[in-house]
A and B are shown apart, each in its own frame.
Chain A
Amino acid sequence: MQVVIGQILNGIILGSLYGIIALGVTMTFGITGIVNFALGEFMMIGAYATWYFSDQAMLPFPVAVMLGVVLAAVAGLVADQVLFRFTRNNLVNGLLVSIGLISVMESGALLLFTTTPKSMDAVVAGSLSLGAITLPRMKVVVFLLLVAVIGLTWLGLSRAWLGRATRAYAQNPEAAMLMGVPTKLLQTGVVVYSCALAGFGGGLYASLFSLEPSLGGLFILKGVEAAILAGVGNLLGALAGGVILGVTESVGSLYLPSAFRDAYGLVFLVAILLFRPAGLFGSQR
């Protein structure tokens, strides 16, 4: 029993990492009408940048993460102006451009860092023990940070003017434009922000796991799954979707061969899409 609880907790933490990517996916889809598959690569930028500044340049971890976020955001801006600007609302083109971008960014990472895995020294070492369950402290820290950022994003979107403008645009683009919402700026802003989110996730990822240029691939897939699970367009739902996915995988792997780990999420996803196509928390549009 203790083992199961331990895995539920683990799944929740892992799920929050999926969730922040899912948030990026859902925001991008809602506002720019495409799925940015390359978000995994922006996560990679954040991760490698954090590793570099923390491990090689010996800067304090929070500074390294901030730098990672900034780099990811800048890269997102460039990508938006050069590429995504031309694929607004064109799902297929956006998808394919993202895929091309993935190849370019991954080979960049390969050239800079090679396939040799990079590993950071523990930032917050040690583990917490609750009975027979041991949780590494850093994992808890990461979880709290991710939830905080996701929560702040949600808060910003529901209270701040820019946030409300974004939601207005998502609901009715033409009306929003007529009301004076700067749509082009908004779209670029959302792309940059979602890349920054991914970069933040990457920075935290670096503190827990080893880095390879291909790390983005797994997380974007999970992020998309989580976003769809929750209902694309639902922001807090993105976190919930990620958590559900994480828990399903972790607990599922306890009982069934871990080789099937990825399958649980997929099966769950298909089932949800068939019976509640708007996602678990989505509303029919």
Chain B
Amino acid sequence: MSADASAHAETPAGVGQGTITPSGWRSTKLPDVKLLMWVFLASDCMFFGSLIGTYLAYHDRSLTGPFPADVFDIPLTTVSSFVLLMSSLLMVLALHALRSDDIPKFRLWTLGVAAFGTIFLGFQVFEFVHFVNAGLSIHQNLFGTTFFILTGTHGIHVSVGVLWLLAILISSYKKPTSSKDAVYLEIAGLYWHFVDIVWIVIFTVVYLVEFV
């Protein structure tokens, strides 16, 4: 490989892709936090992948009931999935509002995402209580173990997201917020969309597949 002889001393190659920020030179125009969130989400894919893999490995291996078809209520879960999906739409609206410096709208939609997320969690709790009353628990059989831990982990992710959005919302009252801070909402949005997509996968692989 020949030495790089075409570089100019004062403006070497690659400089054009970078930018000077208050924290110093950055070699790309991607904000640090956004790159961090993408990397985190890549990792979280493997996290949920392993849990879903565990569920699939133990599918149909429970020695005793209740079994999935005994307890699943597809219409109900469809409604809660729809709520979560709609929350992602509200998230898009919130980000758009903040980028347009429409702070009241940004606050409204952000509250909406948190509210829809909480409604989803409410549905989850309702559903879990119904399953427990039907005799399903993590001690009962492999279905109970794998189902509750998988959906429980997802539920914790949703809860973290709700808390995060509420913190952003409250913080917007404590100090002036503008489109300059949009990247922090954007990464919350990336996280939220990811959690939503994971739910779509779980809904398909765990719930819908039972009735195919």
Partners in one complex: no
Instruction: Name B's A-contacting residues (CB within 8 A).
Output: none
